[in-house]
Structure 1
Amino acid sequence: MEIINQKVLRKDNQLLAITHLTQLLSYVTGCGGFIVPLALWLTSKDTVEGMDEHGKSIINFQLSLLLYIVLCVPGILLFGLGILGLIAVGTIGFVLPIVNAIRASNGESPSYFLTIRFIS
């Protein structure tokens, strides 16, 4: 009787919450809110329970925010509607990581609305 490829996933809700909160680095460094969660997801998706689901949702959310920002920039020329869009994207990008960090620390699944699923 031998055991082959037995993976034991550990439950680490604090790391999941920290991964969500690292998205806020975008407000400090500009691109750290994408790179740091990506690195955390890629390094621990096979060892932490739920990291694959949370990591994919974070990366999809960050890519969606980037797309919305790119679409809002030309919208500034259209009666200034792009400015309202940028304010909305900035607010959503600040609030949702905090809400989902609390959800992750409680052991719940992430919930990012207006997210395009680039990675499924």
Structure 2
Amino acid sequence: MEIVNQSVLRKDNTLLSVTHLTQLLHYITGFGGFIVPLIIWLTSRKNVEGMDEHGKAIINLQLSLLLYIILSIPAILLFGLGILTLIGVGIVGFVLPIINAVKAANGEPPSYVLTIRFF
């Protein structure tokens, strides 16, 4: 008798929403907005339906925002427009996780604009 390990993906829209909302830890604690979603994604991507797609979108957004912040710091000194970029990154980093948490709760795929696809 051969036993085949068939992993059944469970549908957990609440966990997907919470994963999106954990990005907001940057605004509450100052850190954790990258690490916590990464841990949730890595531990449950094989068990939860859609977690791999949502997790990749979250990590891509966080890496993109970090890159935009790094690029805007010299732009403050050179052009003065880096401050507007930092404000824009702050707004985008706050609004998009909330929008995509609602989408995840409704079972829709994530859509992050201005995101560079690293994964």
Q: TM-score range, shorter-chain basis?
A: over 0.9
In the alignment, the residues of structure 2 paired with residue 27 and residue 71 of structure 1 have an alpha-carbon distance, to the nearest angstrom, of 20
In the alignment, the residues of structure 1 paired with residue 117 and residue 80 of structure 2 have an alpha-carbon distance, to the nearest angstrom, of 28
Aligned residue number for residue 112 of structure 1: 112
Paired residues for 1:10-89 under 5 Å:
10-89=10-89
Figure out how many residues of one structure are paired with residues of the other and give that number.
119
User: How high is the sequence identity, in percent, across the aligned residues?
Assistant: 75
TM-score, normalisation: structure 1: 0.95
Cα deviation, residue 80, structure 1: 1.4
Cα deviation, residue 27, structure 1: 1.1
TM-score, normalisation: structure 2: 0.96
Give structure 1 stretches of 5+ with no counterpart: none
In the alignment, the residues of structure 2 paired with residue 109 and residue 13 of structure 1 have an alpha-carbon distance, to the nearest angstrom, of 11
Deviations 1:79-105 (A, max 9, x none): 310000000000000000000000000
Give structure 2 stretches of 5+ with no counterpart: none
User: Counterpart amino acid of 2:38?
Assistant: L
Cα deviation, residue 77, structure 1: 1.1
Task: List structure 1 segments (4+ residues) > 4 angstroms apart after TM superposition.
Answer: none
User: Counterpart amino acid of 1:86?
Assistant: L
